[in-house]
Amino acid sequence: MNGKPVLEVENLSVCYATRRGLATAVDRVSFTIYENEVVGLVGESGCGKSTMANAIMRLLGDGAYVTGGSIRVMGQDVYRLKGDALRQFRWTQMAMVFQGAMNVLNPVKTVESQIVDTLLAHRPGMSKQQARARAEELFRLVRIDPKRLQSFPHELSGGMRQRVVIAIAVALEPKFIIMDEPTTALDVIVQKSILEQIMELRDRLGFSILFISHDFNLVQEISNRVGVMYAGRLVEMSKSASDLALTPRHPYTQGLIRAIPKLTSDDEDIQGIPGSPPSASNRPSGCAFHPRCPYAKPICRTVEPGMTTVAGNLIECHLSEDELRSMTYAER
Amino acid sequence: MPSDKPSLKVDDLVVRFPIRQRGEQRYITPVDHVSFEIKPGEVLSLVGESGSGKSTLGRALVRLIEPSKGSICIGNNDVTHIRRSTELRGLRKNIQMVFQDPFASLNPVRTIGQHLKILVRKHQGLRGRQLEQRVIQLLDTVGLYPGQEVMVKYPHEMSGGQRQRVAIARALTVNPSFLVADEPISMLDVSIRADILKLLKRLKSDFDLGYLYITHDLASAKYFGDKIMVMYGGQVMETGTSKEIVDNAVHPYTRLLLASTAGSPRRERVGETSLEAPDLFEGRRGCPFAHRCPFVSDVCRTEKPPLVEQVHGHAVACHHPVLGGGNRRHDEE
Amino acid sequence: MSQQPVIAAEAASDRKGNVAPPKPDRFQTVKLLLREPKAVVGFAIFGFFLAIAIFAPLLVTHDPTQQGIGMPGQPPSKTYWFGTNGFGSDVYSQWVYGTRTSMSIALQVGVIGTVISVIFGIYGGYKGGKVDAVLNWITQVMLVLPSYPLIIMISSYVPNAGAQMIVWVLGLTSWPAAARMKRSQAMTYRSRDFVLAAKLGGLSDFRIMATEIFPNMLSLVFNTFISMTSWGIFGEAFLRFLGIGSTLTPSWGNMLNGAQNGQALLQGMWWWFIPPGLSITLVILSLTLINYGLDAVSNPRLQPPPKLPKALRSQLRESGGQEGLA
């Protein structure tokens, strides 16, 4: 699988300024995404996954700061880009699909003019005619009737709007796209259909995806590898998304899997994780998950665990491989 | 299990709203001739997408909305059109509601204790220490303790799961026989959803509570529900026991839903599907699902399919049910 | 039942382990307000005038209503701190009692205007339907009636209008805009889940308005009270300046009226009109400052994010900054 790295995140930390000082939203996270890869990123609200996406896109709002580490996209350190170079880089090299399509699309412009504007802003040589033709082509690509190009965003259904946003994201053929909960607001059938669409586009155009979601099952289905974030840390990065049943996992991941009722299993035992995720300004000491972890040992309370490789998966936990393994099997 | 509690019967219920469109008054029917029954201690999962009318139906049951036709009966008591506040209060002692968003369903400026006390005082007439005891007991029932500490908290000091527990405790203050739970877990973090579902399940057996569990997620519908009713465009598409619906769905819409649910081993291509919302206008013809259905034929566009019982308790409204498909788990292998 | 003790589990996640039960902070808004510099300055100025109004009888040096106490038109001196006016009254004593009259009228106007706007706004907005239609119609009519001519007309029909008359006239014309604002806010609360839940709990409409909706609108209510009080100060001065109402009671408006009639400006008697004029300006300024402070506290989102210490900032890499996407 490993080809050229598309996204390299190294030791990235992002903090928010609050009245009481700095709150760490993303805490020393490292991972790499290679060509043509889909990497899923799972976590609950407030775990830092969206903050990280914004940091990669250089879209952090006021009061959020990158406090350490580096982000390279296609080998280029994005925090060394300035002004126009950054604007050019964004969208031609990396793009992002946000959750709320309505917030991204301008309500008073037709979707065609929005696509055309994006194209013209990044392709100086392109004529308006060519841009229009390209917009039509993009619409066919995401399977919307090109007649709809003249519509305003509110005239389209939620599913169609999201497709328009995807069309804009792929318009300049970036090599890397971040999708931040792209289908969360949609109904399940539309969601499935759009996911199929995304995978098809990827096969045709060849780009890598960082797919962010809180839905473990969904991420599992479409990703080559799955990362799990908890309290700002990347606590697990699997080697592959399949053979879920046999691989040892982080206790938190285990908990997430057990917390979801399954359509197929007749055994009805689901189990929540006690407590709730900690806030960014009040992280527990040691392993941040220890207060909610059923397997916590004394060491977990005081010492931060390091990343270890367990059967090819990267897991940040004090438990030994055997312990993780036995606990995984106990659940099956 | 025999019970002396009444059951909730909904017969041929229609809810219609006027809407103005381009200066013209038209009506939409988000609930269109829906019938079902919930016995005490039974959970009916109502599954549907946005625009299916599931929330409207839930609100009609607690009479936040007045139905236009049909009837809602609790036991022999017809509550469809009651208007007087005393009667409405009587109804709402029998049937209560838990809302979707725990951040919106609690008053931000009142403490948890205040939320519950005002209702306990009103309905049980308790005062002073007894009142406090009862509130603590209610909080304990939903797994929030120590009650003394919880009572003085404001909603913003609690997590989503804890707030939802408070909302459930509030619904329990009147000792209802039925709860309408409108997507009670969809706004919560994944790791705490399970505990809320388990809490609802425990209350069901502890208090012999009947539920209308409204959800868009078939997996949780199956986990919690004894029966599942699938709605689309305001009409019932398919209804049956949970196992039957998940294993032997015959309606094309249910099957599409199953195929689209993440984690389903029967994930298959959904492919092209219309992205338009269903037409809810009054006077529409045919099956509401026709515009998306892969098996659509002319009759689907003109004639509304009746809800017909296939096997015991399993009813389908479709001109072309996918019969003999059986357990769809097998046909892939 | 293996339900996890939820609160206990969360307390355990606290680093310190044992946590004392948190005390609810009912006065948090007030505390925050007292930390807001604008509000503090506002409260200080307003408090100064309020103190003068309350302790007026102890502060005067002469009888404020008596004319010819000293020579007319004397500049400030040791005997007459603010000098004497064209009729030989002591300006300082007049100003002290004028403060009392003006402040009391203003506060009463504030109360009346706030109460009416709350009743019309919340009741209409929450109830909807016919009740709302009627209340809203009245509000709209009051809103479009030009209030100054109306006030002048009413006041001039009532001969010898005293302070009480002015209070009612100003109070009854002050509320429509505020009521409309409350109505629109109450309307958004009407369909909120927590209001629906209270309804399902069997609470009466009055209880819902009083315990669910009103407390959520407190900052708006306070805001209204402040604007109405401000309006009372200004309105009183305006009416008296035009010579409406009894001119015998000392008040800021009457002092200005007297100064105008006595041609204080022409004769260079600045001590006659400066004290009341400056007072009116200062009180209205103080109320505006309090309102700004309140706004800052009740809408923390409008505030810029907290600044980091300089030392820390220099270590950080630049924040991304929200640049356009296109």
List all residues of chain A from 286 to 315 with a beta carbon under 8 Å from chain C.
291-292
Q: What gap in Å lies between CA C326 and CA A161, rounded to an integer?
A: 18
Q: What's the pLDDT tens digit per position in A288-331?
A: 999 999 888 999 999 999 888 887 788 999 988 888 877 765 55
Q: pLDDT tens for residues A18-59? A: 777 778 899 999 999 999 999 999 998 889 998 999 999 998
Output the pLDDT for position C32: 78
Structure tokens at C128: 């909807």
Nearest alpha carbon to residue A112 among A87, A143, A137: A137
Query: What is the distance in angstroms between the Cα of A78 and the nearest Cα belonging to chain B?
Result: 32
What band does A272 get if pLDDT is binned at 50, 70 and 90? confident
What integer pLDDT is reported at residue C17 of this predicted model? 31
pLDDT at residue C20 greater than cutoff 60 = no
Contacting subunits of A (3+ beta carbon pairs below 8 A): B, C
Residue type, C3: Q
Provide, rounded to the nearest whole percent, the portion of chain A with pLDDT above 90.
38
Secondary structure percentages of chain A, helix, strand, coil, to 5: 40, 25, 40
Residue B322 φ then ψ, to 5°? -85, 80
pLDDT at C321: 38
Q: Does C22 touch chain B (CB under 8 A)?
A: yes
The reported pLDDT for the residue numbered A331 is 52
B201/B194 Cα distance (integer angstroms): 10
Judge whether residue C66 has pLDDT over 60: yes
Phi, psi of A328 (to 5 degrees): -65, -45
* Residue extents of the structural domains in chain B: 226-333
What's the CA gap between B192 and B195, in Å, rounded? 6
- Each domain of chain C, given as residue ranges in start order, spans 27-299
Residue B127 has a CB neighbour count (10 Å cut-off) of 11
Triad B255, B259, B264: Cα angle to 5° = 125
Residue A187 has pLDDT above 70, yes or no: yes
CB of B143 within 8 Å of any CB in chain C? Answer: yes
User: Which residue type sits at C285?
Assistant: L
Residues on chain A touching C15 (C-beta within 8 angstroms): 282, 284-285
Buried b / exposed e over C279-300, threshold 16 CB at 10 Å, is bbeebbebbebbbebbbbbbee
Number of alpha carbons in the 13 Å side-chain half-sphere of residue C154: 17
Q: Which amino acid is at B101?
A: D
A:B CB pairs within 8 Å: 119
Residue C323 near chain A (CB below 8 Å): yes
Q: What is the pLDDT of residue C139?
A: 93
**Residues near B314 by beta carbon (within 8 Å), at least 6 away in sequence:** B238, B239, B240, B241, B244, B245, B248, B250
Q: From the first residue on, what is the mean pLDDT of each consecutive set of 10 residues in chain B (333 residues)?
A: 76 91 85 94 93 92 93 91 88 93 91 94 90 94 90 89 95 94 92 92 94 94 94 94 91 91 71 72 88 88 91 90 57 37
Q: Is the pLDDT of residue A205 over 60?
A: yes
pLDDT, mean over chain C:
81
pLDDT at C221 (0 to 100): 93
Do residue A192 and residue B270 have CB atoms under 8 angstroms apart?
Answer: yes
Exposed (0-12), middle (13-18) or buried (19+): which is A279, by Cβ within 10 Å? Answer: exposed
Cβ-Cβ contacts under 8 Å, A259 against chain C: none
What's the ipTM?
Answer: 0.88
A263, B225 contact by CB (below 8 A):
no
- Decide if B108 and C216 are in contact by the 8 Å CB cutoff: yes
From residue A293, alpha-carbon distances to A5, A289, A326, C62 in Å are 34, 6, 16, 79
Say what the pLDDT of residue A132 is. Answer: 93
Residues 50-69 of B with CB under 8 A from C: 62, 64
Q: Which fold has domain C27-299?
A: MetI-like fold (1.10.3720)
Average pLDDT, rounded, for chain A: 87
Instruction: Give the N- to C-terminal CA distance of chain A in Å, as an integer.
Output: 29
Task: Tell me which residue of B175, B174, B177 sits closest to B121, measured CA to CA.
Answer: B174
Q: What is the pLDDT of residue A60?
A: 85
Tokens 């285990």 -> residue: A254
% residues pLDDT > 70 (chain A): 94
Looking at domain A5-93+174-331, its CATH class is alpha beta
One DSSP character per residue, A84-102 reads HHHHHHHHHTEEEE-S-HH
10 Å CB burial of residue C38 (0-12, 13-18, 19+) is: middle
Domain span(s) for CATH 3.40.50.300 in chain A: 5-93+174-331
Residue B219 at interface with chain A, using a CB cutoff of 8 Å: yes
User: What pLDDT, on the 0 to 100 scale, is given for residue B202?
Assistant: 94
Q: What are C238's two structure tokens?
A: 């305006």
The mean-pLDDT minimum among A162-166, A231-235, B147-151, C314-318 falls in C314-318
C218 touches chain B (CB under 8 A): yes
DSSP states of C51-75: HHHHTHHHH-SS-TT-S-SS-TTPP
Q: Residue B316 CB: number of other CB atoms within 10 A?
A: 26
B48 within 8 A of B232, measured Cβ to Cβ:
yes
- pLDDT per position as a tens digit, C198-242: 999 999 999 999 999 999 998 899 999 999 999 999 998 988 888
Residue whose entry in the numeric block shows the structure tokens 């259905």: B293
Between CA B305 and CA B290 the distance in angstroms is 11
| Cross-chain Cβ contact C319/A90 below 8 Å | no
Span C170-196, mean pLDDT? 92
Chain C residues inside the 8 Å CB shell of A285? 15
Selected for mutation to probe chain B from A191, A263, A264, A265 (highest B CB count within 10 Å) is A263
The DSSP H or E segment spanning B130 is helix B128-141
Q: Tokens for A307?
A: 């990343």
Please give the Cα distance from C264 to C239 (Å, whole number): 19
Sheet with B24-38, side-by-side order of all strands: B24-38, B8-21, B69-74, B77-78
* Residue C3 pLDDT greater than 50, yes or no: no
**Residue found under tokens 């007087």:** B84
- Single out the residue of B167, B90, B173, B87 nearest to residue B124, CA to CA: B173
Give the CB-side neighbour count of residue A280, counting CA atoms within 13 A. 24
Mean pLDDT of the region A237-266? 77
Q: Is B162 on the interface with A (CB under 8 A)?
A: yes
**pLDDT tens digit string along C122-158?**
999 999 889 999 999 999 998 888 877 877 787 777 7
Rounded to whole angstroms, the Cα distance separating C93 from C82 reads 9
Question: Which has the higher per-residue pLDDT, B194 or A100?
Answer: B194
Kindly report the nearest CA distance between residue A21 and chain C, in angstroms. 7
pLDDT at C284 over 70: yes
* The predicted structure's pLDDT at residue B285: 87
pTM (global) more than 0.90: no
CA–CA gap between residue A170 and residue A147 (Å, rounded): 20
